[in-house]
Amino acid sequence: MEMGNKKDSFQSGFVAVIGRPNVGKSTLINSLIGQKIAIMSDKPQTTRNRILCVLTQESAQIIFLDTPGIHKPKHKLGEYMVKAAEGTLKEVDAIFFVVDATERMGPGEKYILERLQATKKPVILVVNKLDLIEREQALPIISNYTEKYSFAGVVPISAKKEINLDRLLEEVKKYLPEGPQYYPEDMVTDQPERLIVAELVREKALGLTREEIPHAIAVDVDEMTTRSNGDVYIRATIYVERESQKGIVIGAKGALLKEIGALARKDMEALLGSRVYLDLWVKVKKDWRDRDGILRNFGFGDS
């Protein structure tokens, strides 16, 4: 194929991935990109920053915006997250609305459908977790959604088992304009490595504390330097809202904090391709989720 022909037919565009928390948006992004970029957790509302991932193929480049869950805000942090998610919808070429095939449509989905009425962008309904139900069970779920909204397309998938992802990409390409390759082929995210490293620590801390710490964790990377031998030294602080939470994150004799560090370091080494020395600290910042100044320091909201 001549380079000129390839350029003429090259497509590039931006796709927002939205849905109620915990439907598998981050798993979908990671499966499509093939690398662990978006934070993965079974706790809702963990994708706080809009993480942009890039998938480059021979004839197309798709830039995915993994938005914070659109939900009714309960505090200042929630307001920022919803604002970020709804702002994303205005600047994309297409939207993936991801729903969980194992759950009935609830208030969260209805709230998102209301928000989607305002957009003129093509919305593709992505029915995830197909591997957990019988195939025929997907039909009533799909018809329930298509009765309420005129979707540009419907694709049942399993993000975890990577079922039907090729079809999903073919479907979205119908709505991508012809355009340039915005990013280099080997680039998968525009987020600074520090932000991804911080999210990896948050993911492990949330996963290991389970119900004991409901979203009251933020992580700040204080130092990230490459040593002369190529090893990377990272010092990060985990912020919680109360002293009792600090004790939970540290664990008996520091055991839980060590486990958080070990798991996070393993993912960091895979991401950075270097040996990592991770120095973790835990500090209390009272009610940080409801304080504008502190939120801005963590990168939420307008600077």
Q: What are the tens digits of pLDDT across the range 134-186? A: 988 889 999 999 999 999 999 999 999 999 999 999 999 999 999 888 877 77
Band of the pLDDT at 189, cuts 50, 70, 90? Answer: low
Cα 29 to Cα 35: distance, rounded to the nearest angstrom: 9
Average pLDDT for 252-257 = 94
- Of the chain, the percentage scoring pLDDT greater than 70 comes to 75
What pLDDT sits at residue 221? 87
Average pLDDT for 200-212 = 83
| pLDDT averaged over every residue in the chain | 81
| Domain spanning 193-297: CATH 2.130.10.30 | no
Nearest CA to 62 out of 85, 26, 33 is that of 33
Q: Is 177 exposed, middle or buried (CB count within 10 Å of its CB: 0-12, 13-18, 19+)?
A: exposed
**Backbone dihedral region for residue 288 (phi beyond 0: left; psi -120 to 50: alpha; all else: beta):** alpha
What pLDDT sits at residue 5? 39
Indicate the range of 154-158, 221-225, 246-250 predicted with least confidence: 221-225
Enumerate residues 6+ apart whose C-beta is below 8 A from 68: 45, 47, 48, 49, 50, 81, 82, 84, 85
What pLDDT sits at residue 71? 60
What pLDDT sits at residue 6? 41
Indicate the pTM of the whole model.
Answer: 0.62
Could you please state the CATH topology (level 3) that the domain comprising 3-173 is classified under.
Answer: Rossmann fold (3.40.50)
CA distances from 298 to 40, 80, 220 (A): 19, 12, 7
Average pLDDT for 87-94 = 82
Band of the pLDDT at 53, cuts 50, 70, 90? Answer: confident
What pLDDT sits at residue 128? 96
Average pLDDT for 174-201 = 81
Residue 44 pLDDT greater than 50, yes or no: no
Residue 300 pLDDT greater than 70, yes or no: no
C-beta separation of 200 from 267 below 8 A: yes
Residue 108 pLDDT greater than 70, yes or no: yes
Q: Where are the domains of the chain?
A: 3-173, 193-297
Nearest CA to 247 out of 276, 282, 277 is that of 282
Q: Which residue has the tokens 């990168």?
A: 299
What pLDDT sits at residue 4? 37
